[in-house]
Amino acid sequence: MVKITDVARRAGVSPSTVSYVLSGKRTISAETRQRVEESIRELGYRPHAGARALASSRSNVLALVMPLRPGVHVPVQMQFAAAVATKARAHDHDVLLVTQEEGEEGLRRVANSALVDGLIVMDVQMQDARIPLLRALGLPSVLIGFPARADELTCIDLDFTATGERCVDHLAELGHRCVALLGSPPEVYARGTGFAQRTAAGFTSAARRRGMASTVVPVEPGRDAARRTVERLLREQPALSALVVHNEPALGALVEAFQRAGMAVPEELSVVAVCPDEVAENAAVPVSSVSIPAVEVGEGAVELLMAKLADRDVPDATLLPPRLTLRASTAPHRAPAKPRYAPAHARDGSECLTAP
Amino acid sequence: MVKITDVARRAGVSPSTVSYVLSGKRTISAETRQRVEESIRELGYRPHAGARALASSRSNVLALVMPLRPGVHVPVQMQFAAAVATKARAHDHDVLLVTQEEGEEGLRRVANSALVDGLIVMDVQMQDARIPLLRALGLPSVLIGFPARADELTCIDLDFTATGERCVDHLAELGHRCVALLGSPPEVYARGTGFAQRTAAGFTSAARRRGMASTVVPVEPGRDAARRTVERLLREQPALSALVVHNEPALGALVEAFQRAGMAVPEELSVVAVCPDEVAENAAVPVSSVSIPAVEVGEGAVELLMAKLADRDVPDATLLPPRLTLRASTAPHRAPAKPRYAPAHARDGSECLTAP
DNA sequence: GTGCGCTGTCGAAACGATTCGACACCGCGG
DNA sequence: CCGCGGTGTCGAATCGTTTCGACAGCGCAC
């Protein structure tokens, strides 16, 4: 293995000079720098990572804590990981893969052994056991998602509140007056998963602001449950003309259910989803959607972490603006030509309930 | 940060003794060991990874070189990564994520800087520019997939030859006499991707051995191309009663195409696929399939690498046996009740061509 | 001519572990 | 009683960098 003293000897300088050429932490004359750089190239020298970490107390590695069991949409996770790895390399850092399953012990391990300089933690829950640990660890970290108490922690995610609002705004501009949000399964709300609640809040407040009738409907997992929910909803709210769907596993089932219930999309029912582009594109009708900006989140997380490592100040919360991609599932509102489930004389909008 | 001298002082021993307790490389009396272990626990000591790497010239990290751009089926990649990470941890190692995009330079970097002790390289091509480099690098490595010249390299993958045979055997046992393999796009064969060729070879030789008529048909990418290929195939080979599909992106399109061409699956046409379970389960008809054993490949790769790191001998090639999962797409052969495309008097099997 | 500040380079001391040879101690056999 | 082999522990060297203080040389102002 070629080491720094070899380079130094060949260039006729001392090892420290080589080090300074590499790090740029002291001024080096142009001639010397050139000679050193040439020696480095000719010998193919690379600093020994361990020695460097020992001496500088910087490993130039950051940990990516990732849920590796299926759960979140996998291609999105992958995009995210790719973005993190690529951006980290652009900052001359490497990425250590840590599985969610290692839990708190895993964090402690990589942090206390000085294996990594910082942490990027994905899939943060509202009540996350790792939060207090992250505070105590003393290593810079960036969280993907927002826990209940985020003070002193740096978090980044899609702005779900704005996302809910954006969906409603789009539908409102198309003339819809009565909308519903088909959301996550009830236990997701109960578990306190932040993004579900925030989407619902944005949805509801935007609808109220625009004087629209709105309901939030949790959807149980499973095709059958999705179908039953849709049928009940269309029966109970005949004036409903547009839906926001924030439940990616059920999206496909839901779109099929609308059609089976005799509702043409988008002619009779407009649908806008919050889901990965991939899912939106492959539904029976390509769905207008706000997607999870995995790449931007990943890159943003790395940038934030790098800033913290450089002792620069960073905002506690970074909310990425939603971007709505229009596809084939939304159209201007028009009064239904034929009665749906309810008798024709009731078609004045009063059957469209407002959320409690 | 608590270091080994702290632990040593507290336990009343020398640092080297602590080190030997940790590594087990020398015998330590029971009492001493206990005292040391207690100190370690009380102080929450973890060896500094960099210092350890420097002194022992082992980083206890292995590199996972992964294609992070979509291409291979993503959930399978994920399973694989999860298996590697988990198994590595079981051997007290960590995993560094290296993107395929970094190419040869990336390999050189992590190897020459002693960042990692070994490499696991995914998605190995038949002619892979990294192969000579891997030979030269002098670091233990394990490849997922087989390059053209694999001597001196350790490789692991599903046994695609046996897979092709297994599919044919299954169909033969059901009484089918005339089969075709719908394979990858032509350029995949041209590019010399090993697994495609090997599946075809196994398929062909098993068919020959059993005296069955067989054809190998490359399928161009895209829904339309898939449909046209199916229609042509069914027209030209009316006696065809079973298919092997080794083309995962096209599988869904193909199954739909069969049905649109008036072929009930499995009543009139049996189908067995080589693809991830997830894809097979979600096709219009759940497809009997041989799946990619991602977890076993990942775990196997780590075990092989660990063995090499411990200077144990390992086989050059590890071929994982295919496992066929029966679903709803295969059924016993029976003579078609109605003519298909060809006139009835020609229904003697002679229209079923044999591969060149 | 002396002193001062600036630039560029060097030498040596960390950094925190591992590992090898040395050696003290013990029980045992001669 | 002495020496011997085996066990358990220690001390010191080593791994390859980084970084801090020192300092040589230089130009410039006083």
Taking the domains of chain A in order of start, what are their residue ranges? Answer: 4-47, 61-158+295-320, 161-287+327-346
pLDDT for A263 equals: 83
Indicate the fold that domain A61-158+295-320 takes in CATH.
Answer: Rossmann fold (3.40.50)
Paired with B63 in beta bridges are B96, B119
- Determine which helix (DSSP H) or strand (DSSP E) holds B61, and give its type and residue range: strand B61-66
Q: What's the gap in Å between the CA of B201 and the closest CA on chain A? A: 32
pLDDT for B192 equals: 62
pLDDT digits (tens, 9 = 90+) for B320-348: 999 999 999 999 998 655 544 444 344 34
For B68, nearest residue in chain A (alpha carbons):
A82
Gap from B2 CA to C19 C1', Å: 22
Gap from B29 CA to C30 C1', Å: 30
E runs forming strands in B235-347: 242-245, 270-274, 288-290, 317-320, 324-325
Which whole number is the average pLDDT over B143-164?
94
Single-letter amino acid code for the residue at B341 = Y
pLDDT for A349 equals: 42
Gap from A14 CA to C11 C1', Å: 9
pLDDT for A347 equals: 39
pLDDT for A352 equals: 57
Paired with A261 in beta bridges are none
pLDDT digits (tens, 9 = 90+) for A17-62: 999 999 999 999 999 999 999 999 999 999 999 999 999 999 999 9
pLDDT digits (tens, 9 = 90+) for B245-299: 998 878 888 888 888 888 888 888 999 999 999 889 888 889 999 999 999 999 9
Sign of torsion over alpha carbons B113, B117, B122, B126: positive
Answer for the pair B206, B165: CB distance below 8 angstroms, yes or no: yes
The first and second tokens of residue A121, run together, are 């933690």
B109: which chain A residues are within 8 Å (Cβ-Cβ)? 46
For A61, nearest residue in chain B (alpha carbons):
B96
Q: Do A82 and B64 lie within an 8 Å CB cutoff? A: no
CATH superfamily of A4-47: lambda repressor-like DNA-binding domains (1.10.260.40)
Q: Do A77 and B78 lie within an 8 Å CB cutoff? A: yes
Name the least confident of A83-97, A176-190, B90-104: A176-190
- Binned at pLDDT 50, 70 and 90, residue A341 comes out as very low
Is the confidence at residue A117, as pLDDT, over 90?
A: yes
Phi-psi region of A143 (alpha: psi -120 to 50; beta: other; left: phi over 0): beta
pLDDT for B325 equals: 96
How many Å apart are CA A41 and CA A19, to the nearest integer?
A: 14
The strand C neighbours among A residues 46-105, by Cβ under 7 Å, are 51, 54-55, 57
- Average pLDDT, whole number, for chain A? 90
Residue of A75, A78, A96 lying closest to B96 (CB–CB):
A96
Non-local CB neighbours of B206 within 8 Å, separated by 6+ positions: B164, B165, B168, B169, B172
Residue of A47, A74, A98 lying closest to B75 (CB–CB):
A74
The strand D neighbours among A residues 51-80, by Cβ under 7 Å, are 51-52, 54-56
Q: Which long-range contacts (CB under 8 A, 24 or more apart) does B67-70 make?
A: B67/B99, B67/B100, B67/B122, B67/B123, B68/A78, B68/A81, B68/A82, B68/A85, B68/A86, B68/B99, B68/B100, B68/B101, B69/A82, B69/B100, B69/B101, B70/A75, B70/A78
Q: Do domains B61-159+295-320 and B161-291+324-337 have the same CATH topology?
A: yes
Task: Give yes or no for B114 touching A (CB within 8 A).
Answer: yes
Is the confidence at residue A338, as pLDDT, over 60?
A: no
Is the confidence at residue A350, as pLDDT, over 70?
A: no
pLDDT for A335 equals: 66
Non-local CB neighbours of B6 within 8 Å, separated by 6+ positions: B43, B45
pLDDT for A250 equals: 81
Q: What's the gap in Å between the CA of A52 and the closest CA on chain B? A: 8
CATH superfamily of A161-287+327-346: Response regulator (3.40.50.2300)
pLDDT for B352 equals: 57
Name the least confident of A199-208, A250-259, A336-345: A336-345
Q: Do A48 and B54 lie within an 8 Å CB cutoff? A: yes
Q: What's the gap in Å between the CA of A126 and the closest CA on chain B? A: 24
Q: What's the gap in Å between the CA of B13 and the closest CA on chain A? A: 22
For A110, nearest residue in chain B (alpha carbons):
B49
Gap from A207 CA to D21 C1', Å: 68
Averaging pLDDT over each range in A81-95, B125-139, B266-280, which range is the top one? A81-95
Q: Do A68 and B48 lie within an 8 Å CB cutoff? A: no
pLDDT digits (tens, 9 = 90+) for A141-180: 999 999 988 888 999 999 999 999 999 999 999 999 999 9
Answer for the pair B242, B174: CB distance below 8 angstroms, yes or no: yes
Task: Give yes or no for B81 touching A (CB within 8 A).
Answer: yes
Return the number of other C-beta atoms located less than 10 Å from residue B68's C-beta. 21
A 37-56 → B contacts, CB under 8 A: 44, 46-54
The strand C neighbours among B residues 7-26, by Cβ under 7 Å, are 15-16, 18-20, 22-23, 25
Residue of B46, B68, B85 lying closest to A109 (CB–CB):
B46
Non-local CB neighbours of B160 within 8 Å, separated by 6+ positions: B194, B195, B198, B199, B202, B274
Q: Do A64 and B97 lie within an 8 Å CB cutoff? A: yes
pLDDT for B61 equals: 98
CATH superfamily of B161-291+324-337: Response regulator (3.40.50.2300)
The first and second tokens of residue A339, run together, are 């009665």
B356 or B137: which leads in pLDDT: B137
Q: What's the gap in Å between the CA of B94 and the closest CA on chain A? A: 7
The CATH-assigned architecture of domain B61-159+295-320 is 3-Layer(aba) Sandwich (3.40)
Answer for the pair A330, A171: CB distance below 8 angstroms, yes or no: yes
pLDDT digits (tens, 9 = 90+) for B170-221: 999 999 999 999 998 887 776 667 788 899 999 999 999 999 999 999 998 8
Task: Give yes or no for B94 touching A (CB within 8 A).
Answer: yes
The DSSP 8-state label assigned to residue B327 in this structure reads -
